Structure 1
């Protein structure tokens, strides 16, 4: 599937050749070649590029110039978190493509070349093939038949996806700031939080709590639907707040996500 590459696009690049002046790369998402000049590589990697990089390595890069068929990219203009996220998304998409190809080959009812049309429909409806498979795992193989995949092939893809894709456990979390002005304040805070975790466990979910530098505490609730987890987190926060206020302490909800 042809896509136009544009300036400021965040994409992935596969190293094809390492030279004194930079890296010759291939952009698999666009079926195009380009170059990363040494000036667009973080300074700590500038010296001895062949010791820092290897042919075949996949990098997250930002496109900085597209002129007369020549494409230039940058590593240092990619923030660490967005780079990690892009690489993860690309790996998930590649895995989804392999799963779909495998399902098509196993049944043999449609040519593997049809994957381009499947990808196009997946992008229209779900944003990516990885998200399409994620939806299929939650709602069933009919998600695949809705974009034109035959029932037998859809079931085979669904079975392979179930084997190869681990379902991510959903979680919600909050950062609390708690202070108790009494001799055994820390022990009291620990007792209150542990009771909050026990209440979560009794409801059939998993609760975790860690200190992230007093007076801040991170609490997590895992193991169910987001709506249920948020509801339980709210109740746990309210419980901890009541207990802290009852002991004359100071409670603050710093962040919830």
Structure 2
């Protein structure tokens, strides 16, 4: 996605050097439509520059700081020397993330998605999460609920969540479900304990999975799973509930699994 407006003074931008002159360097800005900036020779590097080509090359991707913007003159003044290594690394990662998000938008809505629809959805995600990438990441971690306040259609929300969960790598994902366990027997407490042990996996849960079963209020128990990705987390949650259901039913009890907590007035 390329922005149609202008960068702001002080902003860090990514661009590609397309022309080198003795007085400076022209840079095509990758994040802005039809925008080109100039790095004056004095802003290429600190100290005296004997040969500007010792410091930059045509086709090189650079991170620059915007010094001044003159829209009437169609001029953007940039600095290369005012960007430190940490800023450069962070900006490049941010730029790469947005390129990924741009590809995810194509996967979600197709290569023939209109510019209007793309911009409409992308702008809503950016407004809600700060960036397109962060929008997809939150959709992968938290699902549809995270997008409830975003002004997009249900179909658009479904496509974003589906695409995010298939493509976004996140540090971890936490999912939660609830299971109601009941036993008619006199020793029903022991039956429920056995079912809970089954839900917890009886010590046989993979090391990268954190699965916790806690009491909510009779007969309801919460199952929370923390895993490296959504599919694994969801699978472990469903398997945990299935183990509890199988265990309690084998003892003559009943079980029901649901995603939302039940309240007394439901």
Aligned to 2:169: 166
1:125-136 equivalence runs, <5 A? 125-136=128-139
Report the aligned-residue RMSD. 3.4
Equivalent residue pairs, number:
174
Q: Distance in 2 between matches of 1:99 and 1:77?
A: 33
Q: Is the 8 A contact 1:104 1:112 kept in 2?
A: no
Aligned to 1:19: 21
How far did residue 52 of structure 1 move?
Answer: 4.8
Identify if the C-alpha distance between structure 1 residues 58 and 38 changes in structure 2 by more than 3 Å, giving closer, same or farther: same
How far did residue 84 of structure 1 move?
Answer: 1.1
1:30-49 equivalence runs, <5 A? 30-31=32-33, 32-43=35-46, 46=49, 49=52
Identify if the C-alpha distance between structure 1 residues 21 and 156 changes in structure 2 by more than 3 Å, giving closer, same or farther: same
How far did residue 25 of structure 1 move?
Answer: 0.9
More helix by share: 1
Residue 110 of structure 2 aligns to a residue whose secondary structure is helix
Q: Deviations for 1:92-147, whole angstroms, at most 9, x for unmatched residues? A: 012101111222116x6x52542111221112111010110110010114545753
- Does residue 103 (structure 1) correspond to residue 108 (structure 2)? The answer is yes
Identify if the C-alpha distance between structure 1 residues 166 and 39 changes in structure 2 by more than 3 Å, giving closer, same or farther: same
Identify if the C-alpha distance between structure 1 residues 168 and 111 changes in structure 2 by more than 3 Å, giving closer, same or farther: same
Q: Deviations for 1:47-82, whole angstroms, at most 9, x for unmatched residues? A: 655565444432111111223321110011112211
After TM superposition, the score normalised by the length of structure 2 is: 0.54
Q: Distance in 1 between matches of 2:58 and 2:163?
A: 31
Identify if the C-alpha distance between structure 1 residues 138 and 40 changes in structure 2 by more than 3 Å, giving closer, same or farther: same
Aligned to 1:116: 119
Aligned to 2:61: 58
Identify if the C-alpha distance between structure 1 residues 112 and 2 changes in structure 2 by more than 3 Å, giving closer, same or farther: closer
Q: Distance in 1 between matches of 2:159 and 2:123?
A: 20
- Does residue 147 (structure 1) correspond to residue 118 (structure 2)? The answer is no
How far did residue 43 of structure 1 move?
Answer: 4.6
After TM superposition, the score normalised by the length of structure 1 is: 0.56
Q: Distance in 2 between matches of 1:134 and 1:13?
A: 25
Aligned to 2:95: 90
Residue 140 of structure 1 aligns to a residue whose secondary structure is helix
Q: Is the 8 A contact 1:133 1:161 kept in 2?
A: yes
Q: Is the 8 A contact 1:102 1:157 kept in 2?
A: no
- Does residue 70 (structure 1) correspond to residue 75 (structure 2)? The answer is yes
Q: Distance in 2 between matches of 1:55 and 1:158?
A: 40
Unaligned stretches of 5+ residues in structure 2 = 174-206, 209-225, 229-266
How far did residue 152 of structure 1 move?
Answer: 4.8
Identify if the C-alpha distance between structure 1 residues 55 and 116 changes in structure 2 by more than 3 Å, giving closer, same or farther: farther
State the structure with more CA Rg.
2
After the TM superposition, which of the residue ranges 38-47 and 110-119 deviates more from structure 2?
A: 38-47
